[in-house]
Amino acid sequence: MRHAASARRERENIDRGPLLAVLGVSLDPDLLELALTHRSYAYEHGGVPHNERLEFLGDSVLGLAITTTLYRDNPELPEGELAKMRAAVVSTVALAEVATTIELGQYILLGNGEELTGGREKASILADTMEALFGAVYLDKGQDAATETVMRLVGPLLQDTERFGAAMDPKTHLQEAANERGAPAPEYSIESTGPDHDRRFTATVTVGDLVTATGTGTSKKHAEMAAALTAWTELNARAS
């Protein structure tokens, strides 16, 4: 327990200067602290405020910035295509990738339970914290600064919307890729290892004689999704 308490104090006192440099803004320290405070930490510290309200705000800030950019830059695309592109880059998968790139996980204030179960690498926590930061920038610096921050960090993903779209629903994308190539439907098989409380699953997917790929996860669903995304990526790489 002493070691855990010491680690927590170090986390609370970590230099956030590099994070602010990546965001490109100077934020009010209290607002920044709020944006980085997960509810698990708040619960363990007497119910201090946490970042979920900022996350709610940041979701809209993010959505407006991306929607405006897509509308302006793609005058030829219909609403349905624009909606797919937006969904891809504001998805948990995409935001978690951005968060990982800027090493956001090390700055998040987590409770001990989340800390011990790898919370700093959980896509949902990383994505939610990114949105909270966008909300914080909006409150402290205004809409223009928030839009600039969103586009600096998330904007580049607009060049790769197909990949993030596939990551959201890889099994469907793999099925469509198989259909386009006249291949049989993907076939999945599952193996598992470990005790019941810590089971790991490995999925293997085969698309005719085109590709065979594997993926792992803590559930059958996650393992199959990981395998499907790998197979889809390999098929697309060959096509290009």
Task: Tell me which residue of 200, 86, 234 sits closest to 150, measured CA to CA.
Answer: 86
What is the C-alpha separation between 195 and 93, in angstroms, rounded?
28
191 DSSP 8-state letter: E
Is residue 130 a contact partner of residue 98, using CB atoms and an 8 Å limit? Answer: yes
15 is in an annotated binding site: no
Residues 6+ apart with CB under 8 A from 72: none
162 is in an annotated binding site: no
Q: How far is CA 214 from CA 25, 129, 179, 225, in A?
A: 42, 30, 20, 10
131 is in an annotated binding site: yes
Is residue 205 a contact partner of residue 186, using CB atoms and an 8 Å limit? Answer: yes
What is the C-alpha separation between 29 and 87, in angstroms, rounded?
31
Catalytic residues: 59, 131
Binding site per annotation, positions for Mg(2+): 55, 128, 131
Binding site per annotation, positions: 55, 128, 131
